Amino acid sequence: MPSDDLVQAQQPPAPSPGQPPDQNWRSPPTPEPPPSRPRQPINQPVRVAWREGTLTRAEELESLHAWVATHPESKQSKVLAEAIRLHLAAARDAARYKRPWFRTSANGALIERAMSNLDAAEAALLNIAPPDYVLGQMPSLLNHVQRHLLVMDPRRREFEYIAQQFGVHDQVRRPRPSGGERPQEVQPPGVAKALPDEKRGRIVSAVRGASSAALREQLRVRSFRNVLLATALLMTLLAAGIAILGLLSPTTVPLCFEPERSGQTVVVCPTAQSALLTTGEEAGPAAPDVDDAVKQTAGPWDLLTVELVGLTAAAVAAATAIRGIHGSSEPHNLPVALAALKLPTGAVTAFLGLLLMRGQFVPGLSALDTSAQILAWALVFGFAQQLFTRLVDQQAHTVLDRVRGADTRPGPPPP
């Protein structure tokens, strides 16, 4: 509803005494309200965490852009305003994109598209935002730059120098009225209060570089995760091939042992054992009898049973290793990929360990007496996969530490 002043301004001026009213008078156009973002309800929630975070961040940046557009001290740039709108639209499209059910590719490209467009929109917003807003964001921007740029990076050093000029680090302890103390920012003499365009450009350049470095860190995590998943897939196929070989041809690679006691031999396999075989001098050569007993005793479920026991032991080892894995907010689920690698590796190491024992690779451990002993050693070898995957765990910790902060990475020696 228009105000009284606006209604009076739209009325024609009163004619002078003795003159007719002006017929050509036109009411002045009603001034348009300043550009602002219309209030719209936020869309329905999505199921994936990074998609929800992208939509929330895009909503926040769009609201900030609407506020910046109406601020009298903001820089008016149609090009940057249109760029912000396009970047936010691209980020939202990536977050809401639904792949067909028959496509099982990862979300890496979508995550990169969403993150890069949000970073570009934020950089453009800093270019046109009022100086007070940029200066108020300096502590957060400084933290962002220090997390993702190396100590000797010239952009980081320049940003820290500019932050010191605005007194970001200067804090003193002042007593509260209640008697407690709290830090208060104090501007010492010589602290800058204005934000020249040159310094704004350097600030935006450093922030954009830190965002690009953060995105590259995410790409390294994604690449390492893909290597883990590819290796886990190959190990799974290998374990499945071994199990299929045992089902189709049990005597090709039998995991059977022939312990001999007092001239008698028994064939012991993971799921069965034969009757006693006489191997004394009166019975002649014992090899044909033992080979025939192995063919009769070896079952189609031997290799599969050994692999299942090894897989169970690997699952226990993976659960034990969880205590050393720190929680991660990265969207690539690297700890899950590590656990997925351990399971088929345990199945394969159980098979290979028993195969080495059957080939008398370990002296004194080539004659297992019962099926329970064979399965017990399969359990040991399945758990022993931790010796190999422990190096992979260490590399995963290194990759995640590099994502959490640039100060944890070794930089070049100081000059």
Task: Kindly state the tokens that stand for 154.
Answer: 């010239």
pLDDT at 384 over 80: yes
Delimit the domains of the chain by residue range.
49-98+106-168+189-223, 224-253+300-407
pLDDT for the residue numbered 277: 66
pLDDT tens-digit readout, 24-41: 545 444 434 444 455 555
pLDDT tens-digit readout, 198-226: 889 999 999 999 999 988 888 888 888 88
- The strand pairing partners of 185, in sequence order, are 171
Angstrom distance (rounded) from CA 54 to CA 62: 12
**CA atoms within a 13 Å half-sphere pointing along the CA-CB vector of 74:** 21
Angstrom distance (rounded) from CA 283 to CA 264: 11
Angstrom distance (rounded) from CA 226 to CA 134: 38
pLDDT for the residue numbered 120: 94
Longest dimension (CA), the chain: 151
Query: One-letter amino acid identity for 225?
Result: R
pLDDT for the residue numbered 206: 93
Q: Do 372 and 270 touch, CB atoms closer than 8 A?
A: no
pLDDT for the residue numbered 333: 72
pTM over 0.75: no
pLDDT tens-digit readout, 133-184: 998 899 999 999 998 898 899 999 999 999 888 888 644 334 444 444 444 4
Angstrom distance (rounded) from CA 109 to CA 226: 13
pLDDT tens-digit readout, 253-274: 888 887 776 667 788 888 888 7
pLDDT tens-digit readout, 33-81: 444 455 555 666 777 778 888 899 999 999 999 999 888 888 888 899 9
